[in-house]
Structure 1
Amino acid sequence: MTGENRGTSRYDYLVVGAGFAGSVISERLASQHGARVLLIDRRPHIGGNAYDEPNEAGILYHKYGPHIFHTNSDQVVDYLSQFTEWRPYEHRVRAVVRNKLVPIPINRTTLNKLFDLDLETDEEAAEYLASRADPVADIQTSEDVVINAVGRELYELFFQGYTRKQWGLDPSELDKSVTARIPTRTNTDDRYFTDTFQAMPRDGYTAMFERILDHPLIEVRTGVDFREFKDRAHEIADHVVYTGPIDEYFDHRFGKLPYRSLKFDHQTLQQDRFQETGTVNYPSPEVPYTRISEYKHLTGQESDVTTVTYEYPSAEGDPYYPIPRPENQELFKRYEALADATENVTFVGRLATYRYYNMDQIVGQALATFRRIDERKQRDGLQPAAVAAE
């Protein structure tokens, strides 16, 4: 898909990063405005972290760890459905705790299995959790959130070790938003997500990205670093859409924004199934990895072999998770002020806005960013080329 070098040709937009944010923006600009777009990515492929491919055994796996699509946004579903059919899939996760395999998020089944109880109703489960909770008057940290909801024992069993591994920090050092994302249930719903739409792209994420970018006005160049273009970016295009790390764009002027990364160990095993659900978490600090995922659950693929991925959090490597601490947010705000003052550059996406977003949220953000570009053109009397040509 990589385009040929067009030399001194000018583009309307240079889009940096071929993940969800960059690809959706590119498609909208080309299809709705008739804009000529040059999309570049430093990796040798499109799709960002959602990239998937068949391995040597023919198993479709996610190179950068499992990506499960779920959303409550009809707008996002309608948009992506132009480029993919869907395979219904509801993700379920188990956690290995005290040598037992129990549902996570914690639900009534988890409590019954772990503590040999016989809670039969939501009310009984709620009363039990309330009896274990240790109320925190002023909730500030991730530790506060969990202890306030379920008490210290469940906090230590499910959250403390996992969080320390994932973030390299104790929950008491992390913003309350980290564990606030994880619900505690009193029913027996063992789905990891409860969104109204839960499905996987039928042919995989990469196939969906290929269709998104299959437009004659979009030229894609992979294996290209923006640093090679930055000094002459506005000779190449009138406007830059940047989806990379915001601190990198400004040459780390105020210092690096902290991220956590991941290392992946992909293994293909000579067996039909490895585990009973798509993902199994390992909260124990004695286990070096945080989780194991098995892709055949996600894709519905049938094979005599299976591929699994062990995830090891790391301080080094590609930026995956912005570390949610007040001082990091303050540092980001300094970069955001620079971004706001930078003309003819639009910053969009997880890395450019230093936020942990799900895939559907990134698509929604990209669509909203396009709408703002569209409104600005109309306000400035710059009729989109696609309209002008009619």
Structure 2
Amino acid sequence: MDVVFVAYNPADYSAFQSERRKAGDMLSAEQETLARALAERAKSGELALFMGAGTSMSAGLPSWNGLLAALAARVDLPFDAAAWDRLGPLDAAELLRRRAADVHHGEEGALGWLVSEIIAPKKRYGLTHVQLAALHCEQAITTNFDHLYEDAVAAVDGRRPLVVLPGGKSRELAGTSSAGWLLKLHGDVSAPASVVLARRSFVTYDAQRRPLGGVLQSTLLTKHLLVVGASMTDDNVIRLIHEVAELGERSHGSATELGTVISLQRDDLRQQIWKPEFAYLALGERNGDVGRAARELEVFLDRVVLLSETGQAHLISERYAPLLGTDAERRAAASARHLHEEIAGLGGEGWSALRAALEQFGADPT
């Protein structure tokens, strides 16, 4: 049975997570070691995200093959999974692009509009989106078209990330400030013309959108990339990663680890391909059940989020004083609250900054 707790402010969330840390974990020794390493990277600002279609499946959106099937139905093409698998994903999407253009009287952007019609109606993000947002990564990259990660970040941080689209332009989705940035390599449902899906789009990707590849490569060079819900079969992404890996080998004389891939199914051959550039964790590998693997992903990410929480936002909160371990700690917290009250009426940026800092540790802002 799952139990959901809703924390309405940072102090409540911090206190709850602090108490949860006292309980045992549900992970294997290998998973616990990796979860702790990723949590430390998140706390130090070293972690960046790369999200694929598997991330949004938790919210009810289709997989890549599911999207192809839905698009085929909209352009009256019979969909036989085995036959379409033989085409390969890019050629299948190219067939759909041409068919969509024919059905819509030569409109080249018709496929992007159809993708938008399928993806855009889904407004509620999934648990995986919220968990990834709770890692507070400043840099995120995705091949997804939807807005669900952005919505989750807004719910967690109160600010939306700055979104960068294939056209090389950025746009603020909402709000007056941004919470990091999100590079959408394959476009966005709000800009159907930006959607990258078919082979023609992939062939021209490097010529038209090289700066976006540079952003991904700079992230690989400066951050540890956590890959979630992505099959790592995108030709452009593979090329960009290998270029960075080769640079690392030339510079250091040996391969360097660029990130961690979390997969929902075991693939020993692909795991060998990505060693040693990526650590590889296959979930649900005991029985090959993708549904169980998705559940294990949520449990794993929950552990990473828990371990990445600093536990400071409730430190001097009067409501959570009983959680402090000693009388000395409780007296120190009371003194900090008293200082917060004393400087409430003082002007100047310095006093305002000190008051804001105390509120980050649990002082009541009202």
Measured against the shorter chain, the TM-score band is under 0.3
Q: Which structure has greater helix proportion?
A: 2
Q: Which structure has greater strand proportion?
A: 1
Query: Normalized against structure 1, the TM-score is what?
Result: 0.24
- Greater RCO, 1 or 2 (C-alpha within 8 Å, sep 6+): 1
Query: Normalized against structure 2, the TM-score is what?
Result: 0.25
